[in-house]
Amino acid sequence: MIEIKDLSVIYQSSDETYTALKNIQLALPTGGTCAIIGPSGCGKSTLLKVMAGIITDFTGTIEIEGQAVSPKRQKIGFIPQNYGLLPWKNVYENICLGVKIKHKHAKLERNTVEFIMQQLGIDGLGNRYPGELSGGQQQRVSLARAFLLKPDVLLMDEPFSALDAITREEIQDLFLQVWKKHAVSTVLVTHYVEEAVYLGQKIVILSTKPGRVSKIIDNPLFGEPDIRTKREFFELSLQLRNFIKEDWSIC
């Protein structure tokens, strides 16, 4: 269980204070996925960074399995928008980096790494460098890194938004497929309604100025096969879209 209570984040600059997030309450079951949708500047990324332990200046509590969030204590996988691959490390080294940082002395079995690479369809790319890969391949590498780590929670900041439409759907499918095998609690931030409906067991809608939770939906369609082509998928997406339009235009 990931539990967020009364979370507020206030940025203090020299002459003004800016409330990025106000009074966020959220409970996410272990082993589920949660998609957060919000307009730009609503503090989605801030929320994710707080959960990742990158931003520590906040009020309220965030607990994972009853323990306050701390990068030292928990295993937190974070995939930033640009995938966070290090251009000076080849694919193999990039994938192992997470484990290398978290478990200093653990010996990584080459087989384990190669198995994950196979699952994500990047076997054979181990010696390439990120600069030689397409956006989709880079995303696969960052997912491989995250899944190899077996994190307590996986946080993704608009993970698929830089990909073209076809590749995006492909990777979304792949993500779900691999996610099902590893059952990692996942929180992803997005601004595509369809992505949220496709990937989120729970869908959280944030509104802006200041960032608040305006709606939480338990997604009835999650995990059903081929939902992208079903009528319910379009209906739910449309419904959400209409809600969002109204919600965001108020602020």
Partner 1 sequence: MLEKRTFLWYILGFGIFLFAWYFIAKIVHLPIIPSPFLVMDNLGDIFMKYIAVHGFYSLGRMIAGLVLAVIVGVPVGMSMGYFPSLDRILAPLVYLTYPIPKIALLPILMLLCGLGEVSKILMIFLIIVFQVIISVRDGVKSIPKETYYPLYSLGASFWDVFREILLAASMPKFLTSIRVAMATSISVLFFTETFGTQYGMGYFIMDAWLRVNYLEMYSGIVVLSVIGLILFGIIDILDKKICHWQYK
- Residues binding partner 1 (CB under 8 A): 49, 52-54, 70-73, 75-82, 84, 86-90, 97-98, 101-102, 128-129, 131-132, 145, 149, 155
- Of residues 25 and 70, the one with the C-beta less far from partner 1: 70
Instruction: Looking at 183-230, list the stretches that DSSP marks H as alpha helix, in order from N- to C-terminal side.
Output: 193-199
Closer Cβ to partner 1, 22 or 75, answer by number: 75
Burial class (CB in 10 A: 0-12, 13-18, 19+), 63: middle
Q: How far is the CB of 216 from partner 1 (least distance, A)?
A: 24
Task: Report residue 95: phi and psi, to 5°.
Answer: -65, -40
Minimum distance from residue 71 beta carbon to partner 1 (Å):
4
Strand order in the sheet with 67-68: 17-28, 2-12, 59-64, 67-68
User: Closest approach of Cβ 158 to partner 1, in Å?
Assistant: 11
Q: Indicate the residue among 94 and 207 with the shorter CB distance to partner 1.
A: 94
> Cα(121)–Cα(100) distance, rounded to whole angstroms?
22
Cβ 85 to partner 1 shortest distance, Å: 9
Task: Give the dihedral sign, CA 121/124/126/130.
Answer: negative
Count the Cβ atoms, other than its own, within 10 Å of residue 84.
Answer: 18
Alpha carbons 86 and 83: distance in angstroms, whole number: 9
Cβ nearer to partner 1, comparing 24 with 154 = 154
CB of 222 to partner 1, least distance (A): 25
Shortest distance, position 139 Cβ to partner 1, whole Å: 14
Which of residues 128 and 191 has its CB atom nearest to partner 1 in the complex?
Answer: 128
Q: Pick the closer one to partner 1 by CB: 155 or 188.
A: 155
Query: Which DSSP state fits 131?
Result: G
Q: Which of 89, 186, 170, 173 is nearest to 136 (CA)?
A: 170
To the nearest 10 degrees (0 to 180), the angle between helices 110-119 and 135-149 is 130
